[in-house]
Amino acid sequence: MTEKEILLSSILSCSRSVLYSQEWSLNAAQAKKLSEALSLRSQGVPLQYILGETEFFGLTFQVDERVLIPRPETEILVEMVLKSAAGQMKILDIGTGSGCIVVSLAKFLPEAQIDALDLSLEALSLAKENALMNSADKNINFIQSDLFSVFKKNNLNNRLRNYDIIISNPPYIRSGDINGLQKELAYEPRMALDGGEDGLDFYRRIIAEAGNFLNKEGLLFLEIGFGQRENIEKIASLSNDFILDEIIKDYSGIERVMIMRKYGKVGN
Ligand code: GLN
């Protein structure tokens, strides 16, 4: 289906098959909508923002300029978490954005207790709407926090030091690369993309602290960017907190998800 057809079926609120098999016409308002949408698209506004929604893990999510558009690769991260998770686990998602990861998990793990952190209040409010829209709001807590800062600020370190699983798909593009990539990226929140000079800032910060908030043998699931695996593995081995459990490639054969296990040090 071409982008024009996708926009058409959205404007006409009809399915693709109707578009192909039945007579239809646009009234004046719909025609105006279509030409506005096509013009936004030609300026580089991502199709998903124009439609106002996207599909992820078989669910519908609202998306706009407040959040990163969920990527199909991230579904692999969700699948891997679902393989390891069960029952009443405590799960933390760092940088929840649209909420695509936590909402998908909540649908399949209705007994899990999930905390979803984001620094952006705007993102959190959209993530909450997405949870509500997918009837997954009961077991997710949305909390504003710059990574783990909320736990430290409130001195809740000990109480909260008991996640079974920590997940993050952090910003991982090198600052200097962002402008040279697809023009669509300019419309997504910079803070959701920019991983600092070498793209690895958030991996360093997350790996340095995640061990303090995981149970023994707890798992850390990270989405990673092209060519970053080796450096992240180094960061992890220097931290002495984690051992590498598994690396999963995406559909293009790129190493995309790293699973690390908290190292059960004596006395920890
Ligand atoms: N967790 C969200 C996602 O995977 C947002 C990630 C981000 O903004 N870097 O799509």
Please give the pLDDT value at position 158: 54
* Paired residues of 262 in beta bridges: 242
The Å distance, Cα 224 to ligand 1 centre, comes to: 12
Q: How far apart, in whole angstroms, are the C-alpha atoms of residue 76 and residue 173? A: 19
d(CA 125, CA 131): 10
pLDDT tens track, the chain, 268 positions = 899 999 999 999 998 888 888 888 899 999 999 999 999 999 999 999 999 999 999 999 999 999 999 999 999 999 999 999 887 899 999 999 999 999 999 999 999 999 999 999 999 999 999 999 999 999 999 999 999 999 887 665 555 568 999 999 999 999 999 988 989 999 999 999 999 999 999 999 999 999 999 998 899 999 999 999 999 999 999 998 999 999 999 999 999 999 999 986 654 4
Residue with CA closest to ligand 1 atom 7: 192
pLDDT for 130: 98
Residue whose Cα lies nearest atom 4 of ligand 1: it is 169
Q: 167 C-alpha vs ligand 1 centroid, how far in Å?
A: 11
Amino acid identity for residue 53 in this structure: E
Q: Side chain identity at 57, as an amino acid letter?
A: F
Rounded CA separation 152/118 (Å): 15
Say which amino acid occupies 71: R
Atom of ligand 1 nearest to the CA of 172: 9
Nearest-atom number in ligand 1 for the CA of 223 is 4
The answer for residues whose C-beta is within 8 angstroms of residue 110's C-beta and 6 or more apart is 139
- Residues framing ligand 1 (Cβ under 6 A): 68, 70, 74, 95-98, 100-101, 169-171, 192
**C-alpha 100 – ligand 1 centre gap (Å):** 8
Query: Which residues have C-beta within 8 Å of that of residue 201, sequence separation ≥ 6?
Result: 195
Ligand 1 mean position, distance from CA 87 (Å): 24
Q: Is the pTM of this model over 0.85?
A: yes
**How would you classify residue 224: left for phi > 0, otherwise alpha for psi between -120 and 50, otherwise beta?**
beta
For residue 192, which atom of ligand 1 is closest to its CA? Answer: 8
Strands (E), the chain: 53-56, 59-62, 90-94, 113-118, 140-144, 163-168, 214-223, 242-249, 255-262
